[in-house]
Structure 1
Amino acid sequence: MAGAQWSATFTLRDDDGQPMNITGKTFEFAIRPSATDAAVPALVAVAATATSQGYITADTTTAVVQVVLTATATASLGTGCRPFALWMDPGLPTQICLVEGAFYSRLASSP
Structure 2
Amino acid sequence: MPDLPLRWRTATVAGVQWAANFKLLNDDGTRMDISSKTFEFVIRPSSADVTVPPLIKATPTPTAQGYLTVDSVAATIQVVLTPAATTLLGTGCRPFALWMDPGQVDQICLVEGPFYSRLVPAA
TM-score by length of 2: 0.88
Where does the alignment leave 5 or more consecutive residues of structure 2 unmatched? 1-12
Q: Match of 1:10, SS?
A: strand
Match of 1:74 among 76, 79, 86: 86
RMSD between superposed Cα atoms in Å: 0.6
Q: Give the Cα separation in 1 of the matches to 2:26 and 2:46.
A: 29
Percent same amino acid at aligned positions?
A: 60
The corresponding residue for 1:17 is 29
Q: Match of 1:85, SS?
A: strand
Give 1:58 shift.
0.7
Q: Give the Cα separation in 1 of the matches to 2:69 and 2:111.
A: 16
The corresponding residue for 2:60 is 48
Give 1:110 shift.
2.3
1:11-53 deviations in Å (ceiling 9; x for gaps):
0000100010000111000000111110111110110100000
Report how many residues are paired.
Answer: 111
Q: Match of 1:77, SS?
A: coil
1:49-108 deviations in Å (ceiling 9; x for gaps):
000000001110110100000000000110000000000000011110000010000011
Q: Give the Cα separation in 2 of the matches to 1:31 and 1:24.
A: 24
Q: Match of 1:74, SS?
A: helix
The corresponding residue for 1:37 is 49
Q: Match of 2:49, SS?
A: coil
> Partner letter of residue 19 of structure 2?
S
Q: Which runs of 4+ in 1 moved over 4 A?
A: none
The corresponding residue for 1:104 is 116
Where does the alignment leave 5 or more consecutive residues of structure 1 unmatched? none
Q: Match of 2:88, SS?
A: helix
The corresponding residue for 1:62 is 74
